[in-house]
Amino acid sequence: MRPSYSLYINLLWEEMDNILIVDGVSKEYPGRMAVDQVSFSVKRGSIHGFLGPNGAGKSTTMKMIAGLLPVTSGTIKLFGEEVHPEKRNLKNKVGLLPENAPLYPDMTVEDYLRFVGKLHKIKDLEARLEKILTDLWLTNVRKRIIGNLSKGYKQRVGLAQAIFYDAPFLILDEPTNGLDPQSVVELREFIKLLAKEKTILFSSHVLSEVEQICDDITIIHQGKIRASGSLQEIHKKFRQGLVLRIGLSSGETLPDLSAFGKYETGSVQHLNTEDQYHLTFEADRDIRPELARYLVEKGVKLHTLMVESPELEDIFLHMTETRR
């Protein structure tokens, strides 16, 4: 059978829309599968959160995308071209801030950035240097030795290095890890600004951070992808049934719900604050009116009945706990 043209058009469209396509990528070390059949894609102009606990395979995957590690199997396509450590075609197009920023402790900030600029053969080196130093608030430490800087400043110098040659795609491996709260906020704001003109793959194990700045997320655990898509999609996909919060008048207890029609009750969780319960129903639509009627008929004094949308954190914990 002849493949349909619409299939080709779809594939082409996908390539145009996605800067990065990771397809069935695995990385095997002797006796250990670090990354197992990972597939996801990153949309042009988005901030893509790459989420997972420590040792999940985030850094390995990011290194493979950056072309620093070869894949054992599968393909990685960046800007429509296949990534391979031997190929040099994607150099200058990818900016990388690895988990440990590649800094020379004996160099001054400006000498270091000049060196990076020369490695990438930047034309207006001095103008670029001034812009980056200003953008990342590094002007006051420009003459200082990197080894003597605080962790926050070092991380900023690392980021300065990654964006120095104006690569359209940035890979940032846990950029806010180990920073003080002030630096974290500043760095996040800067990353948001960067996203206006760049596509960013951003890894983290801090969920709230990913929720705040990312458009799409991919969750990885033990080398396998657990979920990938936009924040809304993930929420929708992993809403394990319908979670309702039921608040009763003080002193009331929750009646037996086993008789509640065709709906099977899931886990009942008593919240310590007042007489509040979390109930999970295996339902794909809102059952609040029916439940309210049922409870009132049972003589329960109901004062709250609301849908709880699960936090990303819950989804994440659920996925990384239960499959351990």
Partner 1 sequence: MIWTLWKKESQSYFASPLAYVLIGLFSLISGIMFFNLLVTYSDGIQALPQNMTQTVSFVEEVVLRLFANINFLFLVFIPLITMRLFSEEKRQETLELYWMSPVRDWQVIVAKGLAAMTLILCMLTMTMIFPMIIWGVGIHDTSVLFAAYLSVILNAMAYISLGLFCSSISGNQIIAGLLSILGIMFLWMITWGGNLNSNFLIAEIFTYVGITSHFERVLRGVIGTQDIIYYMTFTFFFGFLTAKSLDRRNW
Coil, helix or strand for 148? helix
- The least CB distance from residue 57 to partner 1, in Å, is 17
- Closer Cβ to partner 1, 8 or 115, answer by number: 115
First to last CA, the chain: 43
Residues contributing to the site for partner 1 (CB under 8 A): 66-70, 85-86, 88, 91-92, 94-96, 98, 100, 102-107, 111, 115-116, 118-121, 161, 165
CA pair distance 47, 95, nearest whole angstrom: 14
- Closer Cβ to partner 1, 84 or 224, answer by number: 84
CA pair distance 58, 34, nearest whole angstrom: 9
- Closer Cβ to partner 1, 76 or 210, answer by number: 76
- Closer Cβ to partner 1, 95 or 247, answer by number: 95
- The least CB distance from residue 181 to partner 1, in Å, is 26
- The least CB distance from residue 126 to partner 1, in Å, is 15
CA pair distance 234, 221, nearest whole angstrom: 15
- Closer Cβ to partner 1, 52 or 158, answer by number: 158
Give Cβ neighbours of residue 221 (< 8 Å, ≥ 6 apart): 52, 53, 56, 319, 320, 323
Residue 141 DSSP label: G
- Closer Cβ to partner 1, 68 or 292, answer by number: 68
CA pair distance 110, 141, nearest whole angstrom: 9
* Helix pair 181-194, 151-163: axis angle to 10 deg: 10
Phi, psi for 243 (deg, rounded to 5): -100, 125
- The least CB distance from residue 160 to partner 1, in Å, is 12
Residue with tokens 């006796």: 31
- The least CB distance from residue 119 to partner 1, in Å, is 4
- The least CB distance from residue 85 to partner 1, in Å, is 5
Bridge-based pairing of strands 94-97 and 169-173 is parallel
- Closer Cβ to partner 1, 27 or 48, answer by number: 27
- The least CB distance from residue 127 to partner 1, in Å, is 18
DSSP string, 95-118: EEE-SS----TTSBHHHHHHHHHH
